[in-house]
Structure 1
């Protein structure tokens, strides 16, 4: 997946203490089945600034957030970030245990991040809005 050794190029992210616990547990439980994405999600949690749920700014992507973003190809999408059991691509609900889902968690409006798709290609996305 992504080169996790160089987190200095990644934007600062904020995660609630509740999401931090749930996502850390999820990544640990999924490690054997989805190693690359689980490791990416764990790395994101390790570098996150963890705050009380009430202190997470409204423009930060958290679990259940509707997020509009633009990809490096110019495509704009609106998705809801969900746990794996709730994922439904036809309803624009993407799992946090996907490369793009792990990349989105904790970002705020205006931030961009580079992520690696399952096919090995590097992409960049920019968060346009969070609701």
Structure 2
């Protein structure tokens, strides 16, 4: 898989301290099984501005966010960004350990990013809308 090993040209992203901690651990744990995507997720976490969960702006893609975007491949798509064990493409739940999942984290409506699919082709997507999950009493454990 061809990777973008640079942050040049990528939009600024913001992640919560909670997502940062969980996603950094997840990326490290996944390096043996999914090296390309895990490395991309690590790169995204390294370049992210980390804020406390309480101060994350409403329109930022976080874990559990529902995102509407368009790309050069599809006109529009609506997905929810989830941890690998919760993924179900038929239900629109996309894992953070996919190329598009790693590309979406931390973006806001109006931002675009280039990403590379598993087949090595480069794509561009633009976030149109971000909806946050309804707070639950029991957080998802990774």
Which runs of 5 or more structure 1 residues have no equivalent in the other structure?
A: none
Size of the alignment, in residue pairs?
Answer: 130
- Mapped partners of 2:72, 2:111: distance in 1: 13
Q: Report the equivalent of 1:48.
A: 48
The CA deviation at 1:4 is: 1.6
Matched, 1:80 2:76: no
Runs of 4+ in 1 over 3 A off after TM superposition: none
Alignment gaps of 5+ in structure 2: 132-142
The residue correspondences of 1:1-131 to structure 2 (distance < 5 A) are: 1-5=2-6, 7-131=7-131
- 1:30 Cα offset (Å): 0.5
Richer in helix (by share)? 1
What's the CA shift for 1:24?
Answer: 0.3
In structure 1, C-alpha distance between the alignment counterparts of 2:109 and 2:39, rounded to whole Å: 25
Please state whether the residue corresponding to 1:25 is helix, strand or coil: helix
Instruction: String of CA shifts for 1:41-68, please: whole Å, max 9, x gaps.
Output: 0000000000000111110000000000
